Chains A and B, each alone.
Chain A
Amino acid sequence: MKIKFICCEIFYREACTVISRSPNLIDVEFLPKRLHDLGGVKMAERLRQVIDAVDESAYDAIVLGYGLCNNGTLGLQARTIPLVIPRAHDCITVFLGGRKRYQDYFEENPGVYFKTTGWIERGEMAGGLSQFPLPDQLGLGASYEELVKKYGEENAQYLYDKIGDLTPHYRKCAFIEMGIEPNREFEDIARQCAIQHGWVFEKLEGDLSLMQALVDGEWINDDRFCVARPGQRLAAEYQGDIFQLEESSS
């Protein structure tokens, strides 16, 4: 099978690993993590442009290395070949191997800041903003110095207390070890992050099986994936399935 894999760079190392192990011929295109900072509508628009640019006659399917990503994949449509996406809220679901495990973990541990190789080496932004789907334009994530310059010392202090830390209620930093790390450097950075914030550190065992199945084409009758057939588009389902399909009117 020939597959076009459009993938967030947050999965760079994992994607390269599963591609190397796949029987399929896979062309991968990585897109910047910053797409998430555009907000759902603009992110989906950008993904649509990338999908539209694919020569579909050369492939059997397009697979997306994305999840719901704060509604950033809604409305994406299969044109002449299937469009496949894992049923995942976000990349953490994929790193953990599935939505059930993520949901269970999340319910037990609401305030967790996750780290992986991608989260450490790809597109980090000031103030830890990168984990959140908040647009830059909201004016968040500015440094104290920037706030002073713009609003004066007294106001800056007030604002810094309010928005300087976007994770005031977080309690834990979890490093998801995918088994592809070259050394301990990434884990050490995650441990440092926990110490810096006064959070508990936890190491979780990652699971590449969801991403492997995604590129291996094992989607049929598999509830881990949502497969849009030509003419169908992705819609959200917030009660557990994460995605549902809509027939496209156009």
Chain B
Amino acid sequence: MADLNALRQAVINGDHTSARRITEEALGENTDPLQIVTGCLVPAMDEVGRLFEEEEYFIPEMLLAARAMKESMELIRPRLTATGAPSSGRAVIGAAKGDLHDIGKNLVASMLEGAGFDVHDLGVDVPPEKYVEAVKTVKPHLVCISTLLTTTMPALKKTIDAIDAAGLRDSVKIMVGGAPVTQQFADEIGADGYGENARSAVQKARELTARGAA
């Protein structure tokens, strides 16, 4: 029997080789793929987020854990699709126009994937119209916009305004984040949510999409 506890631990430890091996074993034994995700990968990434908040983990540890989780997920995804298991939701993510920094944005994208979201990453320096386009084509439940610099903070509002002007605001929940962003700023520009770090971003994403589905 594949040891799912060991898989969880391998993800927490950032051991992608073991994560991949145990996932292959588990799937070979016809373990329910959704159970691997919800019972194993999601709690593992939760724990990684907690360790980061406690300052036991830093960005390198987060990245290694995210890689282990992603490799496991790559094996599981085809099975999930085949069984028709629901994803947590579709998310479009990107760094705001003018912002070229993506370490934080990539971490949030990985954590969202680890939480079962279907993530569409638009990259960096994403103009508002590209978000609008993505909302039309991907039809996400969630749009996430990040910025590292105060200089590009106005671009967050412009993006939200553009989605609004396109008549799409009610179809998505919008989250913002990045070093200079605060809850107050998120409120001011009409975002639905704010994540102080990758873990709280995922918690907020879950909350928003659950409410959206209700």
Contacts and interface: CB of A to CB of B under 8 A. Distances in A.
A68 B153 CA distance: 12
Contact of B64 (A68, A133, A134, A159): A159
B149 A70 contact: yes
Interface stretch (A58-66, A103-111, A176-184, A223-231): A103-111
Interface stretch (A27-35, A47-55, A186-194, A236-244): A236-244
A140 B59 contact: yes
A138 interface: yes
Contacts of A97: none
A158 B59 CA distance: 13
A58 to B, nearest CB: 33
Interface size class of B (residues with CB under 8 A): 20 to 34
Interface in B107-127: 124-125
Given A70-B179, A110-B125, A142 B151 contact: no
A106 B151 contact: yes
A89 B149 contact: yes
Contacts of A158: 63-64, 67
Nearest to A112: B100
A28 B124 CA distance: 40
B193 interface: no
A21 interface: no
A170 B97 CA distance: 14
B99 A110 contact: yes
A139 B61 contact: yes
B150 A142 contact: no
B101 interface: yes
B56 to A, nearest CB: 11
Nearest to A159: B60
A169 B103 CA distance: 12
A94 to B, nearest CB: 13
A237 B157 CA distance: 13
Interface in B143-193: 148-151, 153-154, 157, 179-180, 182, 185, 188
B55 interface: yes
A103 B103 contact: no
Contacts of A89: 149-151
A42 to B, nearest CB: 13
B151 A71 contact: no
Interface string A93-131: 000000000110011001100000000000000000000
Interface of A: 39-40, 68, 70-71, 89-90, 102-103, 106-107, 110-111, 132-134, 137-140, 142, 147, 150-151, 155, 158-159, 162-163, 166-170, 236, 238-240, 242
Given A40-B179, A138-B59, A238-B150, 10 more contacts: A110-B98, A132-B101, A133-B180, A155-B14, A158-B67, A166-B103, A169-B100, A169-B102, A238-B154, A238-B185
17 contacts: A70-B149, A71-B182, A102-B151, A103-B151, A106-B98, A110-B125, A134-B148, A142-B60, A155-B14, A159-B64, A162-B103, A162-B106, A167-B100, A169-B100, A169-B125, A236-B185, A242-B150
